[in-house]
Amino acid sequence: MDPNSAHMTPDEFRRRGRQVVDWIADYYERIERFPVLSRAKPGEIRAMLPPDPPETGEEFDTVLADLDRVILPGITHWQAPGFFAYFPANASGPSILGELLSAGLGVQGMLWSTSPACTELETHLMDWLVGMLGLPERFRSDRSGGGVIQDTASSAALCALHTAREGARAAGRDGPLVAYASTQAHSSIEKGIRIAGIGEESLRLVEVDDRLALRADALAEAVAEDRRAGRVPFFVCATVGTTSSHAIDPLAAIGPICRREDLWLHVDAAMAGTAALCPELRWILEGCEHADSFCFNPHKWMFTNFDCDCFWVADRKSLIDALSILPEYLRNKATESGAVIDYRDWHVPLGRRFRALKLWFVIRHYGVEGLRREVRENVRIAQELAGKIEEDPRFELVVPPPLNLVCFRLIGDDAANQRLLDTLNESGEMFLTATRLDDRLVLRMSIGGTNTRAVHVERAWERIVAEAAKIA
Amino acid sequence: MDPNSAHMTPDEFRRRGRQVVDWIADYYERIERFPVLSRAKPGEIRAMLPPDPPETGEEFDTVLADLDRVILPGITHWQAPGFFAYFPANASGPSILGELLSAGLGVQGMLWSTSPACTELETHLMDWLVGMLGLPERFRSDRSGGGVIQDTASSAALCALHTAREGARAAGRDGPLVAYASTQAHSSIEKGIRIAGIGEESLRLVEVDDRLALRADALAEAVAEDRRAGRVPFFVCATVGTTSSHAIDPLAAIGPICRREDLWLHVDAAMAGTAALCPELRWILEGCEHADSFCFNPHKWMFTNFDCDCFWVADRKSLIDALSILPEYLRNKATESGAVIDYRDWHVPLGRRFRALKLWFVIRHYGVEGLRREVRENVRIAQELAGKIEEDPRFELVVPPPLNLVCFRLIGDDAANQRLLDTLNESGEMFLTATRLDDRLVLRMSIGGTNTRAVHVERAWERIVAEAAKIA
């Protein structure tokens, strides 16, 4: 190493790396001491940062000290056992270390040849997961399909929409395109429609039933009506585990409509897909054999740190045709041989990091049985909580939770529920978020954190009951 | 921790984390022993992986051993000093440790409130970088603009295209849209046009001059012709440092055309932008004050591991308007106050990891002066190599390298150059890629690796000369 160079030597990396590993281990040991939801006010973190960058390099210890002083007060602790907001983003030791190795190797997997292991491990794991979740065999890379890791389900949905649109256009289907999803579908569908230039007016939000799942009969009607009006139905997004309430759209009823009407069926199982690891929960994917594309997020509930969305297509050729461009500077023998996968053609970005490594570490550390055990325990805890809510006359269980998301409200008006929510979040002990169902404010408790055990949920429920008593 | 749980305890993380840190430090110490370009054959890595995932968890040591046995043979060593292919993806110690901390904290920064530090540090650094690169002040967040970290320049280009399109539509500009870029522009522009549904036929590839930079007069002509034909010009992508040859499109001449014709000007400085850290190289951005959006990739040449693309807009409102959707389950007081930035509205994905952390670690570790020193040294080495090539009658310097990418060829036909390229890459000592310029095969040597010093380039040149002698 050049003595004039500012680069960190391997030896310094060894020393500093240990400090950082210790910092993280210490963080997890003291994680319950922080308020789950950050109490920082807008601008408060920035105010602690100097207006200009340093001209000369600073000591690593200074930077690490600022992590405690400047950053931690502005952290909402997603890994804390009291984090019940949104959906989990449950990191784990093996995953964090897989991510570290991926950063350390520093390879870029845009082409097979730019690191064959980056591509082949990913393809292999995606085939493993087809079996692990009981997905249709045609999603496997040795059939017509294949899987790829994307950053998020939003990007996956955009790729599905774009591929479906290109397919419809190539088939000569002229006229204004129409896509369908339930009123409960994730905002990423609308965002994807917009970015793909299809036009927001082309998205029909189909009615749901009393479990908040898409009504297949309403879908069929909407499609028929659009056809009568000369429009071109082309895409359906079915959600397995909606964000608001975990509703499971009935794939077995939606699928045949899509086949009959020649519509691309995309299944967004971003949150709930992980449950399919357990045979007894696999009913959520019944009918999935009709899907043209499917995604779920190990970075939500499968102990893999963000980002890691797994996306499959039944016909990889259509995806590649829709996204492939081969400029001169990317030409290489392996690509031209046709014997390899170049994942740059499977998503929006060209470059990509080695995300399969962390997923590999997770699956091997836990084993399939270990993953199932954790998922089952989350579901068990959630169902137990739901039981308590149902028995308590002061509360209402808004929908029976299919898995690990519990939606409930205090009997009373929205203001009372908002007050309850605010009090709980301000307590620092937990962080819950709300949604609106049937035009009423509903509290959501999502149970899937790596560090969340039964005792944390029991304690949270006691606190909820106590705060509710004060409000009433 | 529950004794039945398979989760890794903080103590085990501490122990395993040290092993992984050591593995990475060892890797960097022995990195020159591996062939730079992986010698794996298609399928060879997969063949070493078991057909099914493990039912029960495996020992960490087993997994780590497989890193050496299964993964390393399939790695193309992007961090090796002999990696001269494509563009660099130069990781560094502080960056890898920043990434580790980001994985360890495991926060998700979709909203300000989901971790205020994740958003505020990012905004702050993006403002720092405006000063560091000498970008227009209007890109600052305390003016009309602002910056955001995206995964890649491809995604940034898609956001710019989409925002420009929405703006043109909102302004009532009807008719077929037309976008412009040079014949040398990156493939991501075409990919973005396709995904955004604008249609590939809407992209005009404008002629270049003898330095392979976009000809402003040809751009003006093309715009005029499209207007005459009733089409709607709306977007220009100017490239600062093209992929093939590092050509610098003349922003000072392109900018006024865009202003006059009301075209969105996006500047793609993905590779070369880092050079603007050095005042004496800042000429590459002359005219940048006309840009509506700008991006560069610290993950290429600024010692920050992949992924980290910095993207700015001059008018953040237009970007947010084009991408914002606020569903009920994301509502929160901070967002409604209007006092904060919610970065989910600044890109395709909803979720986002804490990428600012690694960028902060890099800037603080090196200091601005330290970064400049490394960039200058890369440029110096590249210019020195170019001088040698120019003096050698057996070789041709195809274009004078503006910065750190040297394009050259052996005097002779394409077959001879292909043979030279293959021999060099098969040697294991280095990895170069090729492109076509003026319909001739040209070898590219991109000098920007963290571990690449003058001696490595000197040694590579000696080998190139020796292999060329054998071919001649």
Can you tell me the distance from the alpha carbon of B278 to that of B84, in angstroms, rounded to the nearest whole number?
Answer: 22
The continuous run of DSSP H or E covering B128 comes out as helix B116-133
Q: What is the mean pLDDT of residues B28-56?
A: 98
The shortest CB-CB distance from B367 to any of A13, A55, A370 is to A55
Q: What is the mean pLDDT of residues B17-27?
A: 98
Q: What ipTM was assigned to the predicted interfaces of this complex?
A: 0.97
Output the pLDDT for position B4: 65
Going by pLDDT thresholds of 50, 70 and 90, the confidence category of residue B5 is confident
To the nearest 5 percent, what fractions of chain B are helix, strand and coil? 50, 15, 35
pTM: 0.97
Going by pLDDT thresholds of 50, 70 and 90, the confidence category of residue A4 is low
**Do you know the residue count of chain B?**
472
Can you tell me the distance from the alpha carbon of B140 to that of B131, in angstroms, rounded to the nearest whole number?
Answer: 9
Contact at CB, B116 and A44, closer than 8 angstroms: yes
Can you tell me the distance from the alpha carbon of B119 to that of B123, in angstroms, rounded to the nearest whole number?
Answer: 6
Sort strands A309-313 and A405-410 into parallel, antiparallel or unpaired. Answer: unpaired
Going by pLDDT thresholds of 50, 70 and 90, the confidence category of residue B21 is very high
Contact at CB, B93 and A12, closer than 8 angstroms: yes
Output the pLDDT for position A336: 84
Write the DSSP string, B402-426. SSSEEEEEESS-HHHHHHHHHHHHH
Rg (CA), chain B: 24
C-alpha dist (Å) from residue B131 to B136, B295, B323: 8, 14, 27
Can you tell me the distance from the alpha carbon of B140 to that of B136, in angstroms, rounded to the nearest whole number?
Answer: 8
Over the stretch A260-304, which tens digit does the pLDDT of each residue have? 999 999 999 999 999 999 999 999 999 999 999 999 999 999 999
Distance from CA of A208 to the nearest CA of B (A): 17
For chain B, domains (ranges, CATH) are 107-352 (3.40.640.10)
Distance from CA of B385 to the nearest CA of A (A): 19
pLDDT beyond 90 at A154: yes
Which of A46, A66, A450 is the best substitution to test chain B (most B C-beta atoms within 10 A)? Answer: A46
Q: Between the CA atoms of B194, B200, B203 and B206, what dihedral angle is there, to the nearest 10 degrees? A: 120
Output the pLDDT for position A239: 98
The continuous run of DSSP H or E covering A359 comes out as helix A356-391
Q: Which candidate, B326, B348, B336, places its Cα nearest to that of A435? A: B326
Which of A2, A99, A195, A442 is the best substitution to test chain B (most B C-beta atoms within 10 A)? Answer: A195
Q: In angstroms, how far is CA B283 from the centroid of its own chain?
A: 20
Contact at CB, A73 and B117, closer than 8 angstroms: yes
CB pairs under 8 A between A and B: 491
Distance from CA of A118 to the nearest CA of B (A): 7
3-state secondary structure of A457: helix
The shortest CB-CB distance from B196 to any of A13, A43, A197 is to A197
Q: At what angle do helices A316-323 and B187-195 cross, to 10 degrees?
A: 120
Q: Which candidate, A112, A115, A143, A114, places its Cα nearest to that of A127? A: A143
Output the pLDDT for position A1: 46
Residue B349: HSE in the Cβ half-sphere, 13 Å Cα cutoff? 27
Over the stretch B295-312, which tens digit does the pLDDT of each residue have? 999 999 999 999 999 999
C-alpha dist (Å) from residue A8 to A55, A130, A158, B20, B449: 17, 42, 40, 17, 14
B-chain residues near A99 (CB < 8 A): 99-100, 103
pLDDT beyond 70 at A24: yes
B-chain residues near A307 (CB < 8 A): 349, 351-353
A-chain residues near B88 (CB < 8 A): none
Going by pLDDT thresholds of 50, 70 and 90, the confidence category of residue B1 is very low
Can you tell me the distance from the alpha carbon of B401 to that of B383, in angstroms, rounded to the nearest whole number?
Answer: 7
| Residues linked to residue B437 through DSSP beta bridges, in sequence order | B440
Mean pLDDT of chain A: 96
